[in-house]
Amino acid sequence: MTTTMTPTTRMPRGLRTMFRDAHVTRLAVVLVALLAFFAIVKWPNFSSVATWQSMAMQFPEFGLLALGVMLTMVLGGIDLSVVGTANMTAIATAMLMLKIAPEGSASSTGYLALGAGVAFSLVVGAVAGAINGFLVAKVKIPAILVTLGTFELYTGIALVISGGKPISGMPPEYAYVMGSRIASYIPMVLIIFVIGAVIVWYLMNRTAFGTKLYMLGSNETAANFTGLKTTSLIVRTYTISGVFAASAGLVMLANYNSAKADYGSTYTLLAIL
């Protein structure tokens, strides 16, 4: 018995998925059309390496937020607190690094502050996300109300601990690592986003966690009858969203070399979109 290979079946799995999903296909067509339009209208700027490097520096901020929000939306919820989480963790991390490595500290101390700051930020982001998940899963408050409330809470915490002022003067080692470029062209923050996207792809396509997430998001009642531990799944999903928000906070801290409670105020709708 022979199998006829059509052009579609010979495509990589990712492309086959795109052509099977009409929504993704339309988005791809719109993206190509927009790129073609700007290439025709503004070719000198469009073809400039500096333009693409600038984009690669800017979009990972809300790109990382979007990855976390996406997971909660697949679940059937939403996370409106991501910007508040990002700013709160960025401010707390900046203050910790300045405490460990004040101005004039040795390079080794600066790298110690960098490592401690990154670890601290991710832990705080995970805790903030877990609080959201607990309130949604156990207290049974709608996700939109929980995350809107915690957005205000986390923003308030950021305002209190920073006194409403920007925290600046990061150790130079932080800017050196986070602001570096691979092969002189690719920004480190873009690499961080790509790593995050690969992690999400792996979780959603290669693990039982992703399958359960789709099941719960498609039909919560049926998922409960199958024996899924929905509470644990919801808490873990919002925890991951908090970690991605904290990662976005670290990128914002690197891009601005400072942290403030109202940075990225327009990113929430972009992340949801």
**Residue position matching structure tokens 């470029």:** 181
Q: What pLDDT shows up at residue 201?
A: 94
Which pair of structure tokens corresponds to residue 51? 């333009």
Average pLDDT over residues 202-228: 89
Task: Give the per-residue pLDDT at 190.
Answer: 94
pLDDT at 6 over 60: no
Residue 188 clears pLDDT 70, i.e. is over it: yes
Which of 20, 24, 171 has the alpha carbon at shortest distance from 105?
171
Q: How many CB atoms neighbour CB 128 within 10 A?
A: 27
**What is the residue-averaged pLDDT of the chain?**
90
Coil, strand, or helix at residue 233?
helix
Q: What is the pTM of this model?
A: 0.89
Secondary element (H or E) of residue 186: strand 186-187
Confidence (pLDDT) at 247: 97
* Predicted local confidence at residue 136, as pLDDT: 97
Q: Which pLDDT score is estimated for 222?
A: 83
DSSP 194: H
| The residue to which tokens 């891009």 are assigned | 255
Task: For the chain, state the CA radius of gyration.
Answer: 21
Q: What is the mean pLDDT of residues 249-272?
A: 92
Query: Which whole number is the average pLDDT over 94-113?
Result: 93
Please state the rounded mean pLDDT for residues 50-68. 90
Q: What is the pLDDT of residue 11?
A: 59
Choose among 166, 189, 177: nearest CA to 95: 166
What is Dmax (Cα atoms) for the chain? 74
Q: Which residues pair with 187 in a beta bridge?
A: 181
Domain ranges of the chain: 10-47, 49-272
Task: Kindly state the average pLDDT of the residues 190-214.
Answer: 94
What is the tens place of the pLDDT at every residue in 11-21? 555 566 666 77
Gap between the Cα atoms of 74 and 217, Å rounded? 6
In this predicted structure, the answer to whether residue 189 has a pLDDT above a threshold of 80 is yes
pLDDT at position 9 is 55
Helices (H), the chain: 13-20, 22-41, 43-46, 49-74, 82-100, 107-137, 143-162, 172-178, 188-206, 208-218, 220-225, 230-256, 267-272
Residue of 94, 64, 57 whose CA lies nearest to 244? 64
Among residues 243, 256, 231, 216, the alpha carbon closest in space to that of 91 is found at 256
Give the Cα-Cα-Cα angle 200, 202, 204 (nearest 5 degrees).
65
Nearest one of 241, 269, 246, 268 to 259, comparing CA atoms: 246
Q: What is the pLDDT of residue 268?
A: 92
CA distance 254 to 176: 9
The predicted-structure confidence for 121-151, as pLDDT tens digits, reads as follows 999 999 999 999 999 999 999 999 999 999 9
> Is residue 203 over pLDDT 60?
yes
